[in-house]
Amino acid sequence: MHSFAYISYAEEALADFWAAHAPDMPLPAFGVSRVGCQLHRALQVGETVTTAVRVSKIGGKTAGFSILMERGTELVAEAEIVWAACNPDTGEPIPLPEDLRDWLYKYLE
């Protein structure tokens, strides 16, 4: 399986996390400031992967997420995605809103 597929799984899991946990929360615009993936085991096309999303860090302007990908009980990959809040018109970084920070802390691992 191509390595970009792991990032696709991670991005899909993160989108599902937001949809399930904060469907009505107003959010600032976000830009991706970092994406990384550590591969532990190879996957084959068609294998079932389960994911778990964790908030890994909360900064003044950023939120980091760790996405674990498993085949059965075996960890196959760990992705890290860091989002930076930004002004939608200028793209300049802005502070995370306090209510969003408070909400994220509920999921910080």
Q: What is the pLDDT of residues 53-108, one digit of tens each?
A: 999 999 999 999 999 999 999 999 999 999 999 998 998 999 999 999 999 999 99
Question: What pLDDT is recorded for position 2?
Answer: 72
Structural domains of the chain, count: 1
Supply the range of the domain harboring residue 22: 3-105
Residue 1 pLDDT class (50, 70, 90 cuts): low
- CATH number of the domain that 86 lies in? 3.10.129.10
pLDDT at 5 over 80: yes
pLDDT at 23 over 80: no
| φ, ψ (nearest 5 deg) of residue 90 | -110, -20
Q: What are the tokens at 63?
A: 């939120």
How far does CA 93 lie from the centroid of its chain?
A: 18
